[in-house]
Amino acid sequence: MALKIGVLIKNVPDTNTRIQLKGDAIDESDIKYVINPYDEFAIEEAIRTKELWTKAGETVEIVGICLGPTQAAKSLRDAFAVGVDRGIHIVDNQKQAIDPKGISAGLAKACATENFHLIFAGKQAVDTDAHCVAVMVAERLKMSHVAVASKCTFEGTATVQVERDIEGGVREIYKVKLPALITANKGLNKMRLASLPGIRAASKKEIKEVPLEGNIKPSFKIANWNLPPERGKVKMIEGEPAQQAAELVRLLHEEAKVV
């Protein structure tokens, strides 16, 4: 039987996007959507793990799981081009799963039917920045997890040693028996570029569309979107370098009172 690796993939605005408001909502007309950058590390780690296990004689399949509106399937296709084998798209055009509680419930439901041996996800998505959905998916699946991984070392298909980044440049190291879910930090790897045959194959790979199940409703609403307050006009400090330095330090001490 094939070992299945799941990858949670979210379609998010590119980080170079300027977010603007239109009325009381976010203006989505000019946004370019891409695979969440942290999910790229998750995808690459899944592919490397498949390569490792395949070499050891296992049959391995990578399944991308994506929750979002119809157009979010684009990120699954992009993931197919680098080596993800097939996809499950939980279609949520009504935006019922907008909060960590609902999103994690929807994703966990879809994962449960696949019986994954291993799941990778990004540590957070760069749109909501909630940094909690993948951990919640693991808990809902009653699966072990290690979050914010910057190194994974597999011992066969049964165990993985994971290094997790915590505050102050410190790493916590865990040995985990699979099945488990691991969230990826920057530094874990760098996603390979899609090859031409990969891109050609991507359009033929299967995306199974499933509805959002389980009577999921938002547990909170956004009452207002606000653009961050603009700072006052910048105070430029002129003069010779030595004068500039002295004046800056004086202002920080006496005017801004931050030192």
The nearest distance, CB 194 to other proteins, in angstroms, is 20
Nearer to other proteins, 156 or 187 (CB): 187
Helix (H, G, I), strand (E, B) or coil at 100: helix
Nearer to other proteins, 197 or 241 (CB): 241
The nearest distance, CB 183 to other proteins, in angstroms, is 9
CB atoms within 10 A of CB 54: 12
Helix (H, G, I), strand (E, B) or coil at 77: helix
* HSE toward the beta carbon, residue 105, CA cutoff 13 A: 17
The nearest distance, CB 86 to other proteins, in angstroms, is 26
Bridge partners of 13, per DSSP, are 33
The nearest distance, CB 82 to other proteins, in angstroms, is 18
Write down the residue that tokens 């929750």 correspond to. 67
- Say if CB 176 and CB 159 are below 8 A apart: yes
Nearer to other proteins, 40 or 85 (CB): 40
Nearer to other proteins, 51 or 172 (CB): 172
Contacts of residue 94, defined as CB under 8 A and 6 or more positions apart, other chains included, come to none
